Chains A and B, each alone.
Chain A
């Protein structure tokens, strides 16, 4: 029924209120003893900052935490539902839950809703098999990697999917895609998400990334090493999120970190106040 009402509404020429999105930078890194997750703290509603200090690192289980990008309500509710289900599952099996279980639950739920739940997640935790880090996309695909970043490119991908048909020749497709990308950029810029897009052609397929996650990924690609120490890893994640904050309009404010090790979770909020509000110098009094 909502879909029908929405369609009627736009026909009349009005525009719907913008969903609150976290046009975000989130990332995670596996280090020697565990996982460090990082996130910025800005939530946007169209061109306005809706929440200057929102919490994007969600609790899933005592040893598993999840960062969420995309529609704020979707990430919030999805992580809460999976957290409840994982708790029931752990009680039923009698063992502490595994990150792979949480990953599978999330991907099955997101696939069921075919991408209509706009939740892009970075899931990390330490279980009996060691530290794990997964990235989960809104349509239900997942990646297991030692370092991941997310943020800002959901709408652009949708645009591409809607307008581009597979199998067209490269010289037909490229100008078409450039035109579509400009439209998508305008649309996304209004939502405070992607501010720039990199398009590379690899063997007849195009790879896209939002700039929020791109800035963070650039930092990772430069400085990631295997088996880092905890402090090194925290500094790396902090720098990656800071790159996202300063180079992407959709991310901002503070940097939250969550360090998960075998026996201990450090939820550091805020780890770094990258953007402090200025202090008023003079009291301007008009009588």
Chain B
């Protein structure tokens, strides 16, 4: 796909990023074994299952494929308009510590009429932990 997809290719994950503070850090900055499991740098750099990367990128590759087909059939205007709408709907979010439904984005993508494993397993609405509300809002507003 030769079109200018600045934004797409840079978002595809070909490795798992090592954050500054490792994802295993819980309270007090040490790895939280009870909640996050054992730590392993190899685990964070390389995929531990052949399908891990392809699943991480799945939604993105689907979008890429759809936009490319649309571009070939209808011309450049169709994916451009759709991408503009995607960006607009991605900005409709609740406060940072709450789970947003993303209903407009799902409708645009066509995901509002299908159920997958991401809806059944690991549903963010049912997660046991939540970010600290005040801190997250302050960070978002740049006050921190």
Contact = CB atoms under 8 A, between A and B. Distances in A.
A1 B115 contact: no
B48 A88 contact: no
A10 interface: no
B132 interface: no
A2 B49 CA distance: 8
Given A1-B37, A4-B40, A4-B43, A88 B113 contact: yes
A92 B113 contact: yes
A3 B113 contact: no
Interface in A109-126: 112-114, 116
B115 A84 contact: yes
A88 B40 contact: no
A112 B43 contact: no
Contact of B115 (A85, A112, A114): A85
A81 B114 CA distance: 9
A133 B37 CA distance: 46
Contacts of B54: 114
Given A81-B116, A88-B113, A4 B48 contact: yes
A81 B51 CA distance: 20
Nearest to B62: A112
Interface in B94-144: 113-117, 120
B50 interface: yes
Interface in A1-52: 1-4
Nearest to A87: B115
B8 interface: no
B116 A3 contact: no
A89 interface: yes
B interface majority secondary structure: loop
A214 B142 CA distance: 68
A88 B49 CA distance: 32
A114 B50 contact: yes
A interface majority secondary structure: helix
B36 to A, nearest CB: 10
Contact of B114 (A2, A3, A88, A113): A88
Given A1-B37, A88-B113, A89-B113, A116 B48 contact: no
Interface string A147-158: 000000000000
Nearest to A88: B113
Nearest to A83: B115
A181 to B, nearest CB: 25
Contacts of A92: 113
A81 B58 CA distance: 18
A162 to B, nearest CB: 13
Nearest to A112: B58
A5 B51 CA distance: 16
B114 A85 contact: yes
Contacts of B51: 113-114, 116
Contacts of A112: 58
Contacts of A114: 50-51, 54
Interface string B21-50: 000000000000000010010010000111
Interface of A: 1-4, 81, 84-85, 88-89, 92, 112-114, 116
Given A113-B51, A116-B51, 6 more contacts: A1-B37, A2-B49, A3-B48, A3-B49, A114-B54, A116-B50
Interface of B: 37, 40, 43, 48-51, 54, 58, 113-117, 120
26 contacts: A1-B43, A1-B48, A2-B49, A3-B48, A3-B49, A4-B40, A4-B43, A4-B48, A4-B49, A81-B115, A81-B116, A81-B117, A84-B115, A85-B114, A85-B115, A88-B113, A88-B115, A89-B113, A92-B113, A112-B58, A113-B51, A114-B50, A114-B51, A114-B54, A116-B50, A116-B51
